[in-house]
Structures are given as C-alpha cells and as structure tokens.
C-alpha cells in the first residue's frame, strides 16, 4: 500500500514539475528608455521577447533616470 502511495505522489510531482518547465517566460521590465531612439530600442527587445513566446510587461518611467535632479 505504501509503495502505491509513494509511486502516485512521485508521478504527481513529476507532472507538476513538467508543467512548470513549459511555463511561458514572463518579464516585468522597469526602465527609463522613454524618448525617441530609446523607446524604439526597447520596443525591439519587447518584440524579440514576444516572438520567442514571452510575455513582456512594460513599465516605463518618463524622467526617471535622475537627470532632472
């Protein structure tokens, strides 16, 4: 009886881990690349990440680079 429980638990754990391995990559990107060419550059990175199956959450901070201090 204990062997059956151990085998069932091992199988469930293996299936759980396999599901995590196939999880879609995600990135939350906080950045200060908000003007002109910077914004275009970050868009290229975002498109490339998405083309590989990832989900990109963009969090730009205008003027957050500290230049205005």
Is 0.75 surpassed by the pTM of this model? no
Residue 48, token pair as written in the block: 């490339």
Least confident range of 22-26, 27-31, 36-40: 22-26
| Inter-residue contact 32 to 64 (CB < 8 Å) | yes
Nearest in space to 43 (alpha carbons), one of 1, 51, 21, 24: 51
Residue 46: band (very low, low, confident or very high) from pLDDT cuts 50, 70, 90: very high
Domain residues of the chain, as ranges?
25-64
Query: What is the per-residue pLDDT for 24?
Result: 82
């Amino acid at each position: 009886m204990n062997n059956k429980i151990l085998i069932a638990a091992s199988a469930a754990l293996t299936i759980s881990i396999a599901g995590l391995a196939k999880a879609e990559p995600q990135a939350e990107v906080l950045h200060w690349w908000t003007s002109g060419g910077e914004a275009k550059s970050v868009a290229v990175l975002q498109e490339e990440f998405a083309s590989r199956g990832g989900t990109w959450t963009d969090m730009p901070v205008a003027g957050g680079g500290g230049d205005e201090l």
